[in-house]
Structure 1
Amino acid sequence: MSIQKATRQPLMEPFTESGNTTEHIETYVHNKLIWISSFIWRTHITLKCADIFKCEGNKGARGFTLIEMLIVVSIMGILASIAMPSFQKNIIQSREASLKNTLFVLRDVIDQYNADNGHYPETLDALVENNYIRTLPVDPFTKTTTSWITVLSDQEGETGIYDVHSGSYKVSLDGVPYNEW
């Protein structure tokens, strides 16, 4: 589809009596319509098509091909596979830090109970009942409060829980099982 280039004429061309023929009016209107339609067409293409797309005639903006989409998806997959191990390692490190803190608090509370009462608690629930802690903490690896491994006192005449470990049999990043911390 080709558009004829209109000649530039003043918008309000005066019609003289001698030139006021229907042929002259038709030519004038035809030229104005061509100029207006080409202006609208150029404006429409300019607004519709960005510089990064190839615009050809009335076809409009070109879309992405299947190959281009596959390449983008595969690059995103490669980047995700590179980032995932680092992300997983950070999650494990944060759980290990949480477990260390929880074990420190539990051991400290057990020692406070022993100092106040002269003996170790029989169960971890005794710490909650006597208001040493509000609730039993959740083991970050087993995600329960009932999996704690308790170590009974081996001293003669002492009974009760002397130490506590995680109930998880997983191995930490430094190679030591969590139930030996």
Structure 2
Amino acid sequence: MVKPMRTPGPRGRRRGFTLIELSVVLAVIALLLLLVTPRYFGALDRSKDKVLAHNLLQVRAAIDQYHADRGRYPESLDELVRERYLRSMPVNPVTEAVDWVLLPPPPGELGTVFDVQAPESSASAAAHAADGHEAPR
């Protein structure tokens, strides 16, 4: 005997998601990304500023120690590495390069490197404020 062919009911036809369901899910994901992304990049910028301030403090401490040991300031930042006051020159995390701005010593002092600052004024001001120096103008 031949059985009549059954047509699938409403449950049998539904095998995937509808376009509306997919659109709602994508809209929720997009909304979550819009809320999370600015916080992530803000935290990333704040962490770079903290690393920048720490790197500047390290270099300044090495310059001060060099001056205390030798009675003069170094001629270059490479001299701090050569004389083992620093293992290597710290990288500026904002620009991802070793691009420090060198400030000369006061008149009458020997050497050419009295202080360092970051080339960007906002990051430099934040770093100077972190260690008690006044930002140069």
**TM-score range normalised by the length of the shorter chain:** 0.7 to 0.9
Instruction: Describe how 1:1-181 pairs up with structure 2 within 5 A.
Output: 56=11, 59=12, 62-145=15-98, 147-169=99-121, 177-180=122-125, 181=128
User: Match of 1:150, SS?
Assistant: strand
Shift of 1:159: 2.9
* Structure of higher CA gyration radius: 1
User: Match of 1:97, SS?
Assistant: helix
Unmatched segments (≥5 aa) in structure 2: 129-137
User: What root-mean-square deviation, in Å, do the aligned CA atoms of Structure 1 and Structure 2 show?
Assistant: 2.1
Give a deviation string over 1:27-72, Cα, whole Å, max 9, x none: xxxxxxxxxxxxxxxxxxxxxxxxxxx973xx37621011211111
Shift of 1:128: 0.5
Structure 2: distance between partners of 1:151 and 1:157: 13
Give a deviation string over 1:84-104, Cα, whole Å, max 9, x none: 111111111111111111111
**What TM-score do the two structures reach when normalised by structure 1?**
0.61
Higher relative contact order (CA 8 A, sep 6+): 2
Structure 1: distance between partners of 2:109 and 2:120: 30
How many pairs were matched up?
Answer: 121
Following TM superposition, the consecutive aligned residue runs of length 4 or more in structure 1 with deviations greater than 6 angstroms are none
